[in-house]
Amino acid sequence: MSAPVGADFFGTAGLRDAALTTWRRDPSRLRQDANLEEDHARGYYRDRVVVELAQNAADAAAAAGLRGRLLLRLTATPDGAELLAANTGAPLTADGVAALASMRASAKRSGGQVGRFGVGFAAVRSVSDEITVATRTADGVAGVTFSLARTAALLAQAAADHPALAAEVARRHGDLPALRLPFPAGAPAVPAGCTTAVTLRLRGPRETDAVRASLAELDDVVLLALPSLGEIVVETDDAPPRRLADVRDRWYSAHASGGLDPALLAGRPVEERERTGWFVTWAVPRPGTPGTPGDAAQGGHASAGATGLGTVHAPTPTDEPCTVPAVLIGSFPLDPSRRHVAPGPLTDRLVQLAGAHYGSLADLLAGARGRHPLGRPHVLSLVPTGLPAGALDAALHEAALEGLRRTPLLRETGTENLLRAGAAQALLGPAGQDEHLLAALAPMVGGLVHVPPEHTAAARVLGVALRDLADVVDSLPTGGHPPGRWRDVYAALAPYAAAHREALAGLPVPLHDGRTARGARGLLLPTAGLGGLPIDLPGLRIVHPSAAHPVLATLGATEADAVTLLEQPEVRAAAEDVEDGAPVPAAVAAVLALAQAAVADRGEDAELPGWLADLPLPGEDGEQHPADDLVVPGSWAAGVLDALVPVRADVVDRWGAATLRAVGVRTDLVTTVVRDVVAEPGEDDVRLDGWGDYLAHLAEVLGAGAFVGDVTAVADLDAVADEAWPRALARLAEDRDARAALLTEVRASAGGTGTAPSYTAWWLREELGAPFAHPRGAGATPFLPPAPDGTEALDDAVLAAVGAVRDLADLDAGAWDAYLDQWPDDGALAMPDALALWRALARAAADGVRLAPPDAVPALVEGSAQMVPAEQVVVAAPVWAQVRAVLPAPSHLVGKVADLLDLDAAGGVVPDAADARAVATPAEVLAVLPGAPATWFECEQLTVDGVDVNWWATAGSAWATTTAGLARALAHAAGRWAARHDVEAVLLDPGALEEVLAEAAGE
């Protein structure tokens, strides 16, 4: 530490004498000076002491042309606390001391180390009554002291012979202008490494607390505002030392300066008018700067936060709010309090300049990618989005926004280009945060930028076009990009397809033929198996193979293999719209190639579209025929279906029998499925022989309009050669599908009841002349034709389906009508055949069968069976056979059989028996025939309708002229006709009862 220089190095005596002389001459000047200093001494500027001391240090550093350092040390003393502010830079001069003592003057007309015009150094009076300023000079350390106590003593002496001054001092009650009277410092000292030191003896605890708080709040913004100051060290007695330095490493800042039109300064104080320069600094903290978003621990590095955000700095803090999201430091004109920016044209111009250069900060952030280990704030974080906090703040908002809008600050995705906000567009929602998606869309969406979700409002305020996914997709171009690039877009959109189908409905999709479709719905997505196949058929909307991606299936495209293509109407139309000439036109050849691929992919049982049966192919006769009118030479079908034409051999060689069979060319029995059949007679385009008649049959059996559903039928039955029926029937019985088509009955699933034979069974019955006798049958089957040739080896199930009958009772409703057509008009019948007929008719009546009335019926006539004209026959119980021709039927079925054949029925009639007498029925008869009448009528003569009969019976009554007749009458009356022989036996020999009953035990 250098030794002190002379006692009054700065000539403080002259300054004191001048001030005292002025006050003696005009005590009101004392009042003016005291009032001015009182504003500071009462604490109005208490929170500005530290900042003003830093400003003085910065001025000293600037005057010396170096980056200055400042030490701020708060220490406790026996009688309170002291604040030391020691700085480097230019030393304090005599002019500087005079400026400190003048309060209203400054030494900084062209620079200097003492505060800016206004408050400056005077702020120290808000916390201290004893101030010492020491500085290093060429001769050593010199200093001055400002002391309220010494000022009071000196004024008391000076006012001793000046009553007016004494009165003014008295009325001040100690509030005196201490800064107007400097005294030489007794033992000034400056810390090592420093040039000037200001020591403040703090007035009391309140002032100490205020200074401590100001030191704690000191942050990087002070260094940003005072660029001549490179380092501040803060030492207090209650915390470790804290160093503020290297501020440029923790902040992005943009600085601009220049000259002002002097006319703008016309309304400013005189000394301020001489300074026509301006400057503006904008700054934002780098990520990790303490006290800001993204703050991270800075190991061992002491730094303040960003408390300067939210306030205009001019260059030290003011009370003007600034909600622009950056620190603003500028040469704004201040009012006398130095707390507010003075309104006027100068401020308006500085606001414009600040806004114009706000874009420089944005440009700095936009171009700073990767230059700092902690990254950078997003450039959109600079956009002011909230409501302004005042008139000046509102002006700054507008100016900043205008500056940002003019600045290219948003990086276009996939490039290094920076765009103005008005030329940029961004995608909203999660998709807008997907870098992979943005990179894929960028070549197709001009000006695409990434906007983080937290900056969406800022982007909107700035003028970025914010678009949802549907809007972006709808605006995608339909040309100009290779299909492979579209696949990249689809891959990037895949995560959003399921949840955003509607938004992606208009997605452009390149097709294989060079067209572009809007939307994937209805398109065909080629599978791997289509490679190399002829898919260039007109009208097909197939996705270009290089663009194909599975996400298109999610959006409605159909994954297409060869079968899928064959199902397309465009393929069918191309195959049907062929010109005559070539044996196999190109379109037909393409269809065959697809069919060949389908067979190779799905096997020979591949089910291809039914329209292929109409595919025109050349036959050996030189004509074009539908595929299902052709047979493969040498196949089973070629030897059986002689109505079909062999396909040309070279066609077989080119595409193979399996392919031709798949499209409908016959090689074997073929089944076809007719969909959604309704039992309704009418025109039908089903290519099955007699299909319309079959529908009429279904309507008759099941009910008109009954819904049957799908019907499987054997095709080409009408093409079987006459001599080939044995082979055809044998094949039908052994082929699984054909057999099922024959044996599966048709059922009405809605609108009808019952069952009907399958189409195949119906057609074969017509062809084979069913019903016919079972080739292995042993029962009585009168009037049935023999089984056709070729049926001998068929199994019973197939025989029953095609109309073979073992017993007449097996005839179904459909077979009865055909069977009646085979009855002769007359002739005798063998009794076994007659019995079979009568039983079958009773069964049919019981089952509710309805028949067309036959011309002749089998009747029992005087003990023999004959075919008798229907009008001569009645349906009745056997008792009537004694009177007339009868078709016998059980008593309970007489009416139904009569209705079945449209015949009359003979009912119960009481006979003419004038000599009848009642006789008790023998007990032995009642034992054999429980339920028989207890009495019967014995007659000598018995007639019915004028015809003599041997016996008669009604329900509960019996008449007889003979023993045999009595047995029949009692059995008939009891309803047990079969017991008549047992009754006759006991009538002839009552002793035979035991034997008869014993015989009955076996029943």
Model confidence pLDDT, tens digit, residues 640-699? 999 999 999 999 999 999 999 999 999 999 999 999 999 988 766 788 999 999 999 999
Half-sphere exposure (Cβ direction) of 522: Cα atoms closer than 13 Å: 12
The string of DSSP codes covering 712-754 is EEE--GGGS-GGGHHHHHHHHHH-HHHHHHHH--EE-SBS--S
Question: What percent of the chain is predicted at pLDDT more than 70?
Answer: 93
Between CA 845 and CA 293 the distance in angstroms is 99
Contacts of 60 (CB under 8 A, 6+ apart): 68, 87, 88, 89, 90, 91, 113, 195, 196
SS3 category, 917: strand
Parallel, antiparallel, or unpaired: how do β-strands 317-321 and 327-330 relate?
Answer: unpaired
Q: Are 93 and 146 in contact (CB under 8 A)?
A: no
The token duo for 332 is 């704004």
Cis peptide upstream of residue 538 (ω within 30 degrees of 0): no
Give the DSSP H/E element, type plus range, for residue 312: strand 311-313
**Sheet architecture: strand order including 80-87:** 182-184, 140-147, 128-137, 196-202, 80-87, 68-77, 229-236, 239-245
Which tens digits make up the pLDDT trace of 206-239? 999 999 999 998 989 999 889 899 999 999 988 8
More confident site: 426 or 187:
426
- Identity of the highest mean pLDDT range in 258-262, 269-273, 371-375, 739-743: 739-743
**Yes or no: domain 46-147+185-223 corresponds to CATH 1.25.40.10:** no
Which residue type does 645 have?
V
Q: Are 949 and 912 in contact (CB under 8 A)?
A: no
SS3 category, 552: helix
Which tens digits make up the pLDDT trace of 304-351? 344 567 889 988 788 899 999 999 999 899 887 778 999 999 989 999
Q: In which residue are the tokens 């998709």 written?
A: 431
More confident site: 375 or 542:
542
Parallel, antiparallel, or unpaired: how do β-strands 804-805 and 755-756 relate?
Answer: unpaired
**Residue 630 reports pLDDT greater than 90:** yes
Question: What percent of the chain is predicted at pLDDT more than 90?
Answer: 51
The token duo for 388 is 């302004």
Between CA 810 and CA 844 the distance in angstroms is 9
* Per-domain residue ranges of the chain: 46-147+185-223, 411-467, 672-820, 823-907, 911-1003
Instruction: Output the CA angle 398-399-403, nearest 5 degrees.
Output: 115
CB atoms within 10 A of CB 983: 28
Q: What angle separates helix 649-663 from helix 586-602, to the nearest 10 degrees?
A: 60
Report the b/e string of 387-412 with b at 16+ CB within 10 A: ebeeebbebbbebbbebbbbbbbbbb
Parallel, antiparallel, or unpaired: how do β-strands 327-330 and 277-285 relate?
Answer: antiparallel
Window from 95-109, 347-361, 843-857 with minimum mean pLDDT: 95-109
Give the DSSP H/E element, type plus range, for residue 678: strand 671-679
The CB-based long-range contact list for 700-704 (8 Å cut-off, 24+ gap) reads 701/754, 701/755, 701/756, 701/813, 701/814, 702/746, 702/748, 702/752, 702/753, 702/754, 702/755, 702/756, 703/679, 703/748, 703/751, 703/752, 703/753, 704/679, 704/680
Between CA 947 and CA 862 the distance in angstroms is 12
Mean pLDDT, to the nearest integer, of 549-556? 93
Window from 20-24, 217-221, 280-284, 907-911 with minimum mean pLDDT: 907-911
Q: Mean of the per-residue pLDDT values for the chain? A: 87
pLDDT computed for residue 299 by the predictor = 31
Q: Using CB atoms within 10 A of its CB, is residue 68 exposed (0-12), middle (13-18) or buried (19+)?
A: buried
The token duo for 196 is 């000037």
Q: Running DSSP on this structure, what letter comes out for residue 247?
A: G
Q: How many residues does the chain have?
A: 1003
CA distances from 725 to 208, 303, 720, 731, 785 (A): 125, 107, 7, 10, 18
CB atoms within 10 A of CB 108: 20
**Residue 251 reports pLDDT greater than 70:** yes
pLDDT computed for residue 4 by the predictor = 59
Nearest to 671 by CA among 683, 688, 654: 688
Window from 117-131, 238-252, 483-497, 574-588 with minimum mean pLDDT: 574-588
Between CA 537 and CA 513 the distance in angstroms is 9
Residue 466: pLDDT band (50, 70, 90) is very high
CA distances from 139 to 6, 9, 183, 337 (A): 9, 10, 19, 38
Mean pLDDT, to the nearest integer, of 982-989? 90
Q: Running DSSP on this structure, what letter comes out for residue 666?
A: B
Separation of first and last alpha carbons in the chain: 149
pLDDT computed for residue 513 by the predictor = 87
Residue 1: pLDDT band (50, 70, 90) is very low
Rg (CA), the chain: 62
**Sheet architecture: strand order including 317-321:** 251-259, 277-285, 327-330, 311-313, 317-321
β-bridge mates for residue 253, sequence order = 283
Cis peptide upstream of residue 583 (ω within 30 degrees of 0): no
Contacts of 91 (CB under 8 A, 6+ apart): 60, 135, 136, 137, 195, 196
Nearest to 220 by CA among 245, 253, 198, 257: 245
Mean pLDDT, to the nearest integer, of 762-778? 88
What are the phi and psi torsion angles at 519 (to 5°)?
95, 145
pLDDT computed for residue 130 by the predictor = 95
pLDDT computed for residue 289 by the predictor = 67
CB atoms within 10 A of CB 237: 10
**Residue 788 reports pLDDT greater than 60:** yes
Torsion of CA 930, 931, 935, 940, to 10 degrees: -90
Residue 917: pLDDT band (50, 70, 90) is very high
Which residue type does 791 have?
T
Residue 1003: pLDDT band (50, 70, 90) is low
**Residue 100 reports pLDDT greater than 80:** yes
Parallel, antiparallel, or unpaired: how do β-strands 624-626 and 616-618 relate?
Answer: antiparallel
Q: CA torsion sign, 971 to 977 to 980 to 983? A: negative
Nearest to 219 by CA among 234, 208, 209, 238: 234
Which residue type does 832 have?
P
β-bridge mates for residue 83, sequence order = 74, 200
Which residue type does 1002 have?
G
Between CA 294 and CA 289 the distance in angstroms is 7
Torsion of CA 34, 35, 37, 39, to 10 degrees: 160
What are the phi and psi torsion angles at 741 (to 5°)?
-60, -30
**Residue 12 reports pLDDT greater than 60:** yes
Which tens digits make up the pLDDT trace of 704-751? 889 999 999 999 999 999 999 999 999 999 999 999 999 999 998 876
pLDDT computed for residue 790 by the predictor = 86
Q: Using CB atoms within 10 A of its CB, is residue 448 exposed (0-12), middle (13-18) or buried (19+)?
A: buried
Q: Running DSSP on this structure, what letter comes out for residue 929?
A: S
Mean pLDDT, to the nearest integer, of 552-556? 93
**Residue 294 reports pLDDT greater than 50:** no
Between CA 787 and CA 768 the distance in angstroms is 9
CA distances from 684 to 451, 700, 720, 746, 859 (A): 65, 17, 23, 18, 45
Mean pLDDT, to the nearest integer, of 392-418? 92
The string of DSSP codes covering 274-299 is T--EEEEEEEEEPTT-TTSTT----T
Q: CA torsion sign, 336 to 340 to 341 to 343? A: negative
CA distances from 637 to 154, 625, 670 (A): 141, 16, 10
pTM: predicted TM-score of the whole model, two decimal places:
0.64
More confident site: 914 or 933:
933
Residue 105: pLDDT band (50, 70, 90) is very low
Residue 371: pLDDT band (50, 70, 90) is very low
Window from 467-471, 778-782, 827-831, 992-996 with minimum mean pLDDT: 778-782
What are the phi and psi torsion angles at 872 (to 5°)?
-95, 0
